[in-house]
Amino acid sequence: MTEATQTLPHPQQRPHPSARGMQRRHFELIAEIISKELNGEYREKAAYAFAYILPITNANFDSQRFLKACKVSAFTEGDNQ
């Protein structure tokens, strides 16, 4: 986490009015881009940054599911199904 994000309040404490209305299809698109276009540390950082901020856009956002879709190593290890 960078210094800038360490000082921010948790996203659910600062709702953004223009961020309303994001849906599963939007989250899937973001996760697909992260998983296909980024590698290693860049993928991890981008995925965690989005997982931190996206809950303000939809109360049903599932961070763990999102990180798994982004193919973050901590969420895909041992997942050989």
Q: How far is CA 71 from CA 29, 36, 56, in A?
A: 13, 9, 22
pLDDT of residue 5: 47
Whole-angstrom distance, CA of residue 77 vs CA of residue 47: 16
How far, in whole angstroms, is CA 16 from its chain's centroid? 16
Q: pTM here?
A: 0.70
- The domains of the chain are located at 22-72
First to last CA, the chain: 31
CB atoms within 10 A of CB 36: 11
Q: Tens digits of per-residue pLDDT, 8-62?
A: 555 555 555 555 578 999 999 999 999 999 999 999 999 999 999 999 888 899 9
Is residue 54 within 8 A of residue 66, CB to CB? The reply is: yes
